[in-house]
Structure 1
Amino acid sequence: MRLLGLFLCLLLPLTAHAACEGRDLRHDLSPDDKAALDKTLGDIAFPEGNHWVATKDGTVLHLIGTLHTNDVRMGPVVDRLAPVLSQADAFYFEVTKTEMDAFEKDLAKDFSPVLITSGPTLVDLMPEEDWAALSATLAQRGIPSWMAAKMRPWFLSMLLGIPPCLMTTPDFDRGMDARLTELAVEHDIPQFSLERIDELIAMFDSHSLEEQVASLTRLAGALQAGDDQMITMANAYIDEQHAAILELAKIQGLEASGLTPEEFDAEWQSFEDQLLVQRNANWMEKILKLKDQTAVIAVGAGHLSNDHGLLNQLQQAGYTLERADF
């Protein structure tokens, strides 16, 4: 998200704009869809709660599920959390602000990590009709086709997930991660990263360019987020329903993709494995090494739930978990 924020600041004409306004799509679910969603959530480990405390021997971990985009309702949440979290020995983020700032400084000089630097561009690699549709969608986000054609497909996928209204909203990336960073700085608490940015980009680029293009082509419709999706995600986050965010995205993605359920499930599993399963496994190697301290683990809320989620993995590792106030 911070990487996208830099891109917007460097290349797009940002202007003051009202915050995203939309409808919470949870209210539009049919009774059958609502029942199916509830059943699915009932089978998921730790589907709710943005603040959990995991304890084992002398180690106390405060797991905070975050949302990377700004929401004014986060202010009171941080105020409530501050008395407890300010006593921690360390904060662990996906990537610390200091490391992200250093990366962004380099990226401002050399944007090649997110560009196709040689060979055919997306104009050449995508079917003409699909490229025309994608170009039109990106134009709504202020990205001209000549620029988009040179971007790595994984980066475009991330851009499609940001609704146009958010891309022109000041401080859109002052999400819970940023606010907790401010809290750590205020109380002079050391901060550490759970992953390196170069490792993250390497993971995004682990598939060939042709495979990335094919996936982007199939999922372009499903990846697009608008005001309604943004509002739904933000409301569900404040309601601490992080598993529901992912399951709703899956339901809506299938409808928008035009793919068969089998085709979409294959794409979704690939997405989930790359962005959640693999990263969670890598993070757990570092988290399980924390001993005899109180630490805050602040990561995207989607990383908490399910069998591969951090909460279930900690429980399997012998930690006692208790949901806490948020």
Structure 2
Amino acid sequence: MRLLFLFVSLFLPISAYAACEGRDLRADLAPELQAEIEQALAETPFPEGNHWVASKGDTVLHVIGTLHSNDPRMDAVVERLTPVLSQADAFYFEITEDKLSDFEKSLAGDLSPVLITSGPTLIDMMPEDDWAALSAGLAERGIPSWMAAKMRPWFLSMMLGIPPCMMQDPNANHGMDARLTDLAEEHAIPQFSLEEIDDLMAIFDSHPIEKQVQSLVRMADALEGSEDQLATMANAYIEEQHGEIIQLARLQGRDASGLSQETFDEEWDGFEQQLLIGRNNNWMEHILGIQDQTAVIAVGAGHLGGEHGLLNQLQQAGYTLTRAPF
């Protein structure tokens, strides 16, 4: 997510970096895994499409699924979208660039939101072997073990999701959100946030730290991102297959975790509730308050599809949904 790239910029120096050169994992999927993904997608409302128009009376919402990391192919997408989106009355992002910038300034003077500020560190709360494995993965991302030991588990979980090749890329966070922010600024269109950073941080810290540590230990292997996973996600995004991204991540994570189906499902459902469903529900309260205007809703593509996705919730609220060019 965008907020994580902000954290990374504070902790790590920007220097020369190796470009990510992964391969698309979908080409090598076992037939049974592909069939499982297709079955899940068949049961998922709105599993594809990065640009949908939701209309109800005089209210028109251009719902844009974004990818927070950079990909040069996005330039052509924004060029195609500009004639339509530049006519909007307002842009709504998860969190606007201005608020992220303000938070970055405050975080530079107070790192407590992402640190364990009292009590035992992660070294004391994790089995020695698990800590060694976690430390090795974080070291590949430029995070020394002494620093990682003081970081909150949810933050380390997201750190693991970023391939090492991205960690020092100065353009890593110039994804679709940043490009659409540039578009809104160029056309002097007001921008608004769908959530507050304090509320997002509260979601991350909603579980006791002991439970966060337990989840981190269980899911470390499944969470660790690679260049291949990044390439697969980026390609699927450009192809507008956001449902496939989530299902592939879930099934590959299950196999990588080594957990039983029951235990993995419990952990995955917890992550999904925390990072997707709960936030979608909160955002909908703001989105349904948009009346009699044309607005752009630009959020991570993973928030669009599914039973609790924004598109299905908009349809249930009486909006007419039409897929539009991307």
What's the offset of the Cα at 1:222?
0.5
Q: Which residue matches 1:286?
A: 286
Corresponding residue SS for 1:192: strand
Q: Which residue matches 1:264?
A: 264
Question: One-letter code of the match for 2:271?
Answer: F
1:125 correspondence with 2:125: yes
Contact 1:246 1:302 (8 Å CA) reproduced: yes
What's the offset of the Cα at 1:35?
1.8
Q: Structure 2: give runs of 5+ residues left out of the alignment.
A: none
Partner Cα separation in structure 2 for residue 13 and residue 190 of structure 1: 33
Question: One-letter code of the match for 2:164?
Answer: P
What's the offset of the Cα at 1:149?
0.1
- 1:254-289 deviation digits (Å, cap 9, x = unpaired): 111010111100000011111111100000011011
Question: One-letter code of the match for 1:286?
Answer: H
1:189 correspondence with 2:206: no
Q: Which residue matches 2:231?
A: 231
Contact 1:54 1:322 (8 Å CA) reproduced: yes
Partner Cα separation in structure 2 for residue 18 and residue 140 of structure 1: 13
Corresponding residue SS for 2:19: coil
Partner Cα separation in structure 1 for residue 31 and residue 321 of structure 2: 33
Question: One-letter code of the match for 2:253?
Answer: G
Corresponding residue SS for 1:292: coil
What's the offset of the Cα at 1:39?
1.5
What's the offset of the Cα at 1:304?
0.3
Partner Cα separation in structure 2 for residue 186 and residue 313 of structure 1: 31
- 1:68-123 deviation digits (Å, cap 9, x = unpaired): 00000000000000000000000000000001100010001111100000010000
Partner Cα separation in structure 1 for residue 135 and residue 63 of structure 2: 39
What's the offset of the Cα at 1:170?
2.4
Q: Which residue matches 1:43?
A: 43
Contact 2:65 2:304 (8 Å CA) reproduced: yes
Question: One-letter code of the match for 1:291?
Answer: Q
Partner Cα separation in structure 2 for residue 97 and residue 13 of structure 1: 21
Q: Which residue matches 1:109?
A: 109
Question: One-letter code of the match for 1:192?
Answer: F
Q: Which residue matches 1:164?
A: 164
Partner Cα separation in structure 2 for residue 7 and residue 268 of structure 1: 24
What's the offset of the Cα at 1:129?
0.8
Corresponding residue SS for 1:322: strand
Q: Structure 1: give runs of 5+ residues left out of the alignment.
A: none
Contact 1:3 1:104 (8 Å CA) reproduced: no
TM-score where L is the length of structure 2 = 0.98
Corresponding residue SS for 2:63: strand
Partner Cα separation in structure 1 for residue 48 and residue 10 of structure 2: 37
Aligned 1:1-326 pairs, distance under 5 A: 1-326=1-326
- 1:7-66 deviation digits (Å, cap 9, x = unpaired): 333332332224211110111112222122111111100000000000000000000000
Partner Cα separation in structure 1 for residue 259 and residue 249 of structure 2: 15
Contact 2:222 2:253 (8 Å CA) reproduced: yes
What's the offset of the Cα at 1:131?
0.5
Contact 2:161 2:224 (8 Å CA) reproduced: yes
- 1:118-141 deviation digits (Å, cap 9, x = unpaired): 010000000111001101110000
What's the offset of the Cα at 1:5?
2.6
Partner Cα separation in structure 2 for residue 129 and residue 18 of structure 1: 30
TM-score where L is the length of structure 1 = 0.98
Partner Cα separation in structure 2 for residue 18 and residue 126 of structure 1: 32
Partner Cα separation in structure 2 for residue 10 and residue 272 of structure 1: 27
Q: Over aligned residues, Cα RMSD in angstroms? A: 0.9
Question: One-letter code of the match for 1:70?
Answer: N
Question: One-letter code of the match for 1:289?
Answer: G
Contact 1:8 1:14 (8 Å CA) reproduced: no
Partner Cα separation in structure 2 for residue 74 and residue 21 of structure 1: 17
**Moved beyond 6 Å, runs of 4+:** none
What's the offset of the Cα at 1:166?
1.0
Task: State the aligned residue count.
Answer: 326
Contact 1:91 1:297 (8 Å CA) reproduced: yes
Partner Cα separation in structure 1 for residue 198 and residue 208 of structure 2: 17
Corresponding residue SS for 1:198: helix
Contact 1:243 1:305 (8 Å CA) reproduced: yes
Partner Cα separation in structure 2 for residue 157 and residue 109 of structure 1: 23
Identical pairs, percent:
69
Contact 2:12 2:168 (8 Å CA) reproduced: no
